[in-house]
Structure 1
Amino acid sequence: MNTLKLASWNINSVRFRLGIVEQFLNQESPDILCLQETKVEDGLFPAAAFHALGYHHVLLNGQRMHHGVAIVSKLPLIEEERNDWQANGEARHLGVRLPNGVRLENVYIPAGGDIPNRDLNPKFGQKLDFLARMTAWSEGVRVPTVMVGDFNVAPLECDVWSHKQLLDVVSHTPIEVETLGRLQAAHDWVDLGRRFVAPPERCFTWWSYRAKDWAASDRGRRLDHMWASPELARHATAHAVHEPCRSWLKPSDHVPLVTEFAF
């Protein structure tokens, strides 16, 4: 295993959008694809479609109609783990070890509702608590690890279309940014997206379905991330945000990220 091409995508229902997932895999051929918001129980996951494309290793943490994460891989996956950082049984994490010893953590952090106040909106409190549990876990990470997924936080001012207008909007509020910062500091995680696309360069991964023309309005946010342990980040050779996927047939509101590593 001298190289690794790793992809991550919040697909917003893998069965409904299976066609564009297959299109993406045929086009990019990553070694591993991490999916979030699969919205399907494990027994109904369309594993056969992935097997047909050479992804014979499929690990799942699914849930009926909501949430759910999956890892499909051409490489063997071992030592699987499912952490309940939501503390309520929701399917939001799946971790594995790769053949070279690297840990891969696929996570779907809660969106947090519409009101950025835990007293008025319990979902917002759950989001902050989820991040706090991840922070405590990060402090104990001792092996080279890459963590990917929909973090539902756009941390930098240039990670949203308007910093000023989104300061009070969930995903870009100061308390979320500060909380995500503590998570990043807990393991000195390297934000691979911003390593390769340096601020203040535009780098969005999500555009709302509400816009009639998402590309023309371009009111995007960088909600999807790939973070790596410092020693592993040095092996990253390329990173891409596949923005054209947002215009494909029956698109997700998120687009895939791909990072390449050389060992």
Structure 2
Amino acid sequence: MNFKLATWNINSVRLRINLVEKLLAEQNPDVLCLQEIKCINDAFPLKDIRKAGYEHVAINGQKGYHGVAIVSRIPFKKVETKEFCGKGDARHVSVELDVPGGLQLHNFYVPAGGDEPDPEINEKFAHKLAFMREMTEWYGGMKKKSENRMVLVGDLNVAPLEHDVWSHKQLLKVVSHTPIEVDLMNEVIASHDWVDVMRRFVPETEKLYSWWSYRAKDWAAADRGRRLDHIWVTPALKDAPQSMQVLREARGWERASDHVPVIATMKL
């Protein structure tokens, strides 16, 4: 089957439900994963989502902060959430999609980590590092099977490659691109042999961003972006991706999120 998947840090789903509806209408994905929904489960705009044709919804919400959701045209066979670092934060939700051969989809919002890349003086950065270590332990503890069909998406808040940021040299000491974060992301990738779908279509030598700061007066002219949003698949699905798109124009939509949707099509 043909499968279209989108992931987007929406930065408040209630504030930007009109943009979610616009994306669903224009791109028509089978599944949309949202991060930073910033609402409890009961406050999620279910009516609007279902009116758009997405009957199946999995939510792990939190009042005013964090929160993740998966909206889908495809039914779920199972919905699960996992808590990381014992903080009670809503940063993960996974579903098993009812498709031939099965498909497990994990949606993450990794902590941003604050401003100072020193875990000794910055508790937020320490939390981020601990979160990523727990991800490695969790996936490393899963039995690797050649037939495992898993997809991991979300705002992982790390731009790992040299050309995932506007200036590798200038951002080496800036949270999201520091060597320790990159090393930990590589450990998560190695834990289950994840394949980076976005870089299957855009060579590592080319710039690739999914986030542009609100601080820039003209984000497009400055173009100081970072690739913080990711789509990974297990080796069983390494040949499944057919195309990938970063919807850059969404950064220019009215009252836009600072992240833009990343969309992949796959043949399952």
Give TM-score, length-normalised by structure 2. Answer: 0.96
For residues 72-116 of structure 1, what are the alpha-carbon distances to aligned partners after superposition, in whole Å with 9 as ceiling and x for unaligned? Answer: 000001211111123211000000101121100000000011111
Question: Structure 2: 5+ residue runs without aligned partners?
Answer: none
User: Which residue pairs with 1:46 in the alignment?
Assistant: 45
Structure 1 residue runs of 4 or more that deviate by more than 3 Å after TM superposition:
none
| Distance in 1 (alpha carbons) for counterparts of 2:48 and 2:132 | 33
**2:203 maps to 1:198:** yes
**2:182 maps to 1:177:** yes
Q: Cα gap change, 1:50/1:261 in structure 2, threshold over 3 Å: closer, same or farther?
A: same
| Distance in 1 (alpha carbons) for counterparts of 2:200 and 2:182 | 18
Equivalent residues, number: 262
User: Which residue pairs with 1:246 in the alignment?
Assistant: 251
**2:161 maps to 1:156:** yes
| Distance in 2 (alpha carbons) for counterparts of 1:121 and 1:255 | 28
Question: Structure 1: 5+ residue runs without aligned partners?
Answer: none
Corresponding residue SS for 1:63: coil
- Report matched runs for 1:1-263 at 5 Å: 2-100=1-99, 101-139=102-140, 140=142, 142=144, 143-263=148-268
**CA apart distance, 1:130:** 0.5
**CA apart distance, 1:191:** 0.4
1:16 partner amino acid: L
Corresponding residue SS for 1:58: strand
1:29 partner amino acid: N
For residues 197-219 of structure 1, what are the alpha-carbon distances to aligned partners after superposition, in whole Å with 9 as ceiling and x for unaligned? Answer: 11111110000000010000000
Corresponding residue SS for 2:204: coil
For residues 148-207 of structure 1, what are the alpha-carbon distances to aligned partners after superposition, in whole Å with 9 as ceiling and x for unaligned? Answer: 000000000100000111110000000000010111011110000111111111110000
| Distance in 1 (alpha carbons) for counterparts of 2:93 and 2:77 | 12
Corresponding residue SS for 1:5: strand
| Distance in 2 (alpha carbons) for counterparts of 1:28 and 1:14 | 18
Give TM-score, length-normalised by structure 1. Answer: 0.98
Q: Cα gap change, 1:141/1:93 in structure 2, threshold over 3 Å: closer, same or farther?
A: farther
Corresponding residue SS for 2:12: coil
1:126 partner amino acid: H
Q: Which moved further from structure 2: 229-238 or 137-146?
A: 137-146
| Distance in 1 (alpha carbons) for counterparts of 2:210 and 2:255 | 16
Q: Aligned-residue CA RMSD in angstroms? A: 0.8
| Distance in 2 (alpha carbons) for counterparts of 1:137 and 1:240 | 29
Corresponding residue SS for 1:168: coil
| Distance in 2 (alpha carbons) for counterparts of 1:36 and 1:75 | 19
